[in-house]
Structure 1
């Protein structure tokens, strides 16, 4: 009974506070005026009529900021990280004072740079604005949403009685679903993916909103390292990653020479037979303190240090060494793909280096696929790059055009650079099994490839539905997390044997003709 009475009193106070702090208080003006007239005559009536609104106006202007203000009011009024940290700190203090729970989530758009490159920066900003509206609609009125930068949003969960890891994951999943729904931009449908890092106040012993926001942002960084559309919760051991992050620039050159940066391998399979048709070599840094790091965390630093050519040499050597070892194990892996940067392609000795490496590992040239970004082909008039690519093709190496659809390469440039396979960019693959427009785009690329007698591979395949639709449309190869994640060389044998075992009597998928 006592608890019930306290709740009633508390609710009454909250209702009264909302009335006195809002414009509703003016509803008392007629009563106050009549009371003034009854007690003091005409003069009191005039004073009350003028003074009552004036006093309330002065109170609204000069009362301390945040006094009796409900959490979550006026969100978006100051869309800056500093304001977000203030709101988060206020939520933390209020939650602990009232024995409640709160949380901070940071939502990050995975594809901002790709969208900006493909559609322009203005379109990318329109996408971010649309995401803001969607996230705003997906949270409660009492929660707080703030745009933190070009690609990130912060969410503060207003204090609640019960909030654990499962509930926070449900909230994060709801926000992710809202962000990843198709976006109409003019006559185009855009698919994006978003990752989320979050921090529960139960895992955080500080009242600082700034530090809790940093914890959630660190969880987002870990999510990004795990791949697109990932969700991660903050844990105290993530602090070790943050403490080691400042060492990355000084360690980068030592890491190359110490063998910490090595190729990991992602499988590529046939949509016809399901058999492995190759692996792509992708750089990974096995940092002694930060663990395995994806290229996005260190490639810029390598480029700034002028070490891209050295990285390319290590990747080529490691990939061919791995291919030779797989042959010795009896694995049927036709080829390995290696990415080549513009700096490497400008090297006049590139052809001789690759010939020497192939001979060293006793491999024929057709076992190596040279992967070149479409942006390089579209923006490189240099004769040396064209000569190197043509020379590698004449040597017998396969030439793949990576991220096709994002770099605006012309048909003439595809022919000029002697491309043999198009790797369809992930942005065309997302939701291809659900969206007819995506299917039309992929069909157009496949038709062009067929007319030009080019092979095709779809990147970023994450679901069985995407895999099936791409096979039905006639894409010959697929690659992505839905097929297999990048793995160290020592894991390839086990993965390949397991994959072959799952292919017992597979149904044949025939290509659509006409």
Structure 2
């Protein structure tokens, strides 16, 4: 029986309920019907809103539902689109199907711990698509209230992540070798020192890299750098770090190294480099020098440790290159002495403590004016006079070497001016050039200005070079300078001939006018032996090549007589005269003329 019928019966008197009661019931019935319609409308609206939100989420986000065991129970179309898997392949599969290997165990332990406690977890995850491509998703995982599983809502942030990675690589990775750059390597050094466990760091420098770069070109130099990086990667362990500090300088961190096997590992690196082929350079063998230091013994922070390794590298280079040296405290003491010496020589130039003496070079044949070699001296504050043998290390600083070279050239050009004005005859004045002189173009430019302006003639000046300058990083600059000086008519002398390894090659390649035989061969020349044979052979070879020969360090008359018999052109040494001041050198020339 319906409510309407019952109410009608009440109104018709078939019920004891009166008309007033029936009207009340009708009103209540109307109210109930209105509320029912309203609630139905609200429920429909809520249902519509839920459907809209679901559709909006599906359109904007990547959604997946898993049970508590991690099995996928539902995915939307965007999930399939991004992952590359079909819905059929995903449903029932474990979520690990997307694992990329980019995250460590601790990352996932934190994730599972959070959601298992009913808390929402949020972070960025790297997943692997079916095709193998990696993609990044900003992920929020919401546990279900009934604890039946989890809903994961993801947004693709791969473009942003890739942009971040590109920026990181630009800031931290050397683009040529793909190794850590200086900034990144220093960060790794700081991290290693903070751990407190022993390790070693080493700095590696390619021997004569600039010569290779200059002679074979920058592309060949790049190939060499790439080969060094590859050899280091292959030789070192996965836990070790490698970086390129800049230029041809590399650095490594050797973890779990207390020094017991350090020398063996360093020698192994050098051997690996020598075996490594270089692309497009079939005849190239990689030679390098290494300096190493131990943490915490040789340095308690990154800066001091690298400084110690750098000092050891300097020692390796001073030992002839191609070797590895471990840091010793004496290296730091020597470095402090060098720094003090550089400061002292700088002050010496400011205080005019440097001066020039002139040692005569006499022609044994006769009939020609004598020549001179300009020799640098330093008058110390205590009155003592030092030769470059005691402060020669300052010439390793090319800026200081160039400043000293500029001073010497100024003095010699002034001396030539004065002797010309006074009518003092001389053949030429020789200057001992350094690598710093030739790398600073001003040295040769000033000589060119003096010759081209007519201030001096080219043959009044002689520039002495050594073989070491031709083997070092500035060989190209030296060769270019020598060619330019030769074109100006300036005499070129090869000093200390015979003490190097490739002297004959340089005689053939360079426009040399004079060969100076080192004093070490002259000392025992009067004794029948190898030195005499060497001197005689050098004189004969030089003459066959059209060169003049100067014997240095002649101190005995017997040496001079023998050299005359061997047809040596000129001699220089204490037998003739020590290094003289300008006034004494002038008197010496005039007395020689008078005789």
TM-score band, normalised by shorter chain: 0.3 to 0.5
- Structure number with bigger Rg: 2
Higher normalized contact order (CA 8 Å, seq sep 6+, divided by chain length): 1
Q: How does the TM-score come out when normalised to structure 1?
A: 0.47
